[in-house]
Each structure stands twice: as C-alpha cells, then as structure tokens.
Homo-oligomer: A and B are copies of this chain.
Amino acid sequence: MKPKILVVDDEPEAVELLEFNLKQAGYAVTTAGDGAEALKKARSQVPDLIVLDVMLPEMDGFEICKSLRLDPTTVKVPVIMLTAKAAEIDRVLGLELGADDYLTKPFSPRELLLRIKKILARGQSEEKVKDQLRYGDLLIDVPRHIASWKGKTIELTATEFRLLTVLAQRAGRVQSRDHLLRDVWEYDSLIDTRTVDTHMRRLREKLGAASQHLDTVRGVGYRFVE
C-alpha cells in the first residue's frame, strides 16, 4: 500500500515538480490548486499526509489548515506547510494551527522527502512539540525565550535567539546563509547574506564556551553540532 499524499499549490509548475518527485519516491499523489478543491479532496480521499502551500489565492494555507483540523475526517492527517515566514513559524507549528512541520521555499525535493518520511514513520503515535532544546549544558527554552549555559542565562536579542533556535532545531544539518535568511528573517528579505555572519559572530560572543556548538562549514554555511 502506497501512502497517499495530497499536494496543494496554485502554481502548476510547482505541483508538477512535487508530484513527480513524490511519485518517484513511491507515494500515491493527488493534487489541488485551491482551497476549496483541497478541502474537498482531503475529505473524500483522506490522504496520509498533506503538503500545503501557504500562499494561495482566496483561501490561504492557514485557513485550510484550520478547516482541516475542524473536520473530523481530516483532523488527524499530518500537514506540512510551505513558505511560512520566519515570524509565522510559531503559529504554524503551534496549537492554533497544528501543522506537523514546515518548509520555506525554495527547498530541495530531498528535503521534503525526508520530512515526509519522518512524519509518516512516527505513524499514529503523537509526537510532542518540543519547546525545550537541550544540548549538554546548553538549554534553549523557546516559549520563555531564554537560552542558558550551565544554568546561567545568556542575554540574546530576538534575532540572535531565533537564529540559535533554527540552527539547534536542525542540529547536525548544515544551513546555508540563504536558508537561514529565509528561516530567521523574512521569506523575501533583501538582506545581504553576509549579515548572517555578523549575527553569528554576535551569537558566538554571547554564547562564550557554548559557541563550540556552532560550526562554520566553509563554502556552505553554518551548522549546530551536539
């Protein structure tokens, strides 16, 4: 039995690309171009997972996600959201919407496949939304917006905190400067990529010994190591 995946995006090209990749990977794929169609298909076919673009005409991804959660038939179907702005991530993953994961555009098909695999693998078992990340003596408490090292609070600005959080959440995987700009700043931010370097420096300064977790991968980007 192939797992069924519903792809919702208004751009035909994007849909086609995703469809191809997912089918290649052995999934059964259905698609929808707008909110109404998406809800209809979600209800009638009940896919095992939904890939949902946020930027849609008329009914946006947030609305769709809410509707899915309100409908008994689809309440449990995992959702991966595309194109969330950094500032919206909390909302996307939070209780209000309850998406299971998100990706910022543009992303590689491989990346998406990994996330899908991970979510489907955990099956019916519920996974708690982590609001505390701990790596050795470094503790990141997202809802409290506090980072600490050996119990001692580290004063971080909003941007620094977000940068650290994004890196830590993707621990082990290298994040390119572009990728970080999308996730930590805004999707369409016109900010210079070198600005990331500056913030990394400030972050390292403040982290002190804890900055050992922050690797530079020359020619690629930065990585959080455990």
Which of B20, B72, B223 is in CB contact (< 8 Å) with A21?
B72
Assuming the contacts A108-B98, A109-B69, A143-B174, asked whether A24 and B75 have C-beta atoms less than 8 A apart, the reply is: yes
A17: interface (CB < 8 Å): yes
A209: interface (CB < 8 Å): no
Instruction: Indicate if the CB atoms of A219 and B157 lie closer than 8 Å.
Output: yes
Nearest CB in chain B: distance from A69 CB, A: 5
A172: interface (CB < 8 Å): yes
Instruction: Indicate if the CB atoms of B110 and A98 lie closer than 8 Å.
Output: yes
Nearest CB in chain B: distance from A160 CB, A: 10
Q: How far is the CA of A144 from the CA of B75 in the complex (A)?
A: 36
Q: How far is the CA of A76 from the CA of B22 in the complex (A)?
A: 12
Instruction: Indicate if the CB atoms of A145 and B70 lie closer than 8 Å.
Output: no
- By CB atoms of chain B within 10 A, which of A108, A158, A174 has the most? A108
Instruction: Indicate if the CB atoms of B145 and A72 lie closer than 8 Å.
Output: no
Instruction: Indicate if the CB atoms of B110 and A24 lie closer than 8 Å.
Output: no
Residues on A lying within 8 angstroms of B by beta carbon are 16-17, 20-21, 24, 66, 69-70, 72, 75-76, 95-98, 108-111, 114, 143-145, 157-159, 172-174, 217-220, 223
List B contacts of A95 (CB < 8 A). Answer: 108, 110-111, 114
Chain B: CB-nearest residue to A143: B173
Which of B24, B159, B173 is in CB contact (< 8 Å) with A144?
B173
Chain B: CB-nearest residue to A97: B108
Nearest CB in chain B: distance from A168 CB, A: 15
Instruction: Indicate if the CB atoms of A70 and B109 lie closer than 8 Å.
Output: yes
List B contacts of A16 (CB < 8 A). Answer: 72
Assuming the contacts A95-B111, A145-B217, A217-B145, asked whether A70 and B223 have C-beta atoms less than 8 A apart, the reply is: no
List B contacts of A96 (CB < 8 A). Answer: 108, 111
Nearest CB in chain B: distance from A76 CB, A: 7
Given A69-B108, A145-B174, A158-B219; 20 other pairs, CB 8 A cutoff: A17-B70, A20-B72, A21-B75, A24-B75, A24-B76, A69-B110, A70-B109, A75-B109, A95-B108, A95-B110, A96-B111, A143-B174, A144-B172, A144-B174, A144-B223, A157-B218, A157-B219, A158-B217, A158-B220, A159-B219
